[in-house]
Structure 1
Amino acid sequence: MADRPKVLILGGTAEAVELANTAAADHDITYSLAGRTRTPALPADVTVRSGGFGGAVALTRWLTSHRIAAVVDATHPFANTIARNAVLACVERSLPHLKLMRPPWEPLSGDDWHFVPDIASAATALQHIGGRAFLSVGRQELGAFAGIEGVAFVIRSIDPPESANPLPEAVYLTGRGPFTFDRETDLLKANDIDVVVSKNAGGDTTYAKIAAARALSIPVVMVARPVPPPGATVGTVDAALDWLNSLETAT
Structure 2
Amino acid sequence: MSIEDDYIEKALKAIRSGDSAKIDATAREIVGAFSSAIPHLANYRGSRLVGSGPDRHTQSDLRKLVGKLKVLREDRDRELYGPYGLETICEHINFLEDVLTSGIEGEELSKAYARIDSIYFEEYDSYSCGLSCEAYSPYEPCSDQTILRIEKLKCIRDKEMRQLRVAENQKTYVNMRQETTNSNSLESSVTVDIATTVSQIDSLPESSLGDNDKTLLKGMVADLAEKDGKKRETKLKKLLGWLSTKGTDVFIVVMPYILKIIESQMGK
Q: Shorter chain as normaliser: what TM range?
A: under 0.3
1 or 2 for the larger relative contact order (CA 8 Å, sep ≥6)? 1
Q: Which one has the largest radius of gyration?
A: 2
Higher strand share: 1
**TM-score if structure 1 supplies the norm length?**
0.25
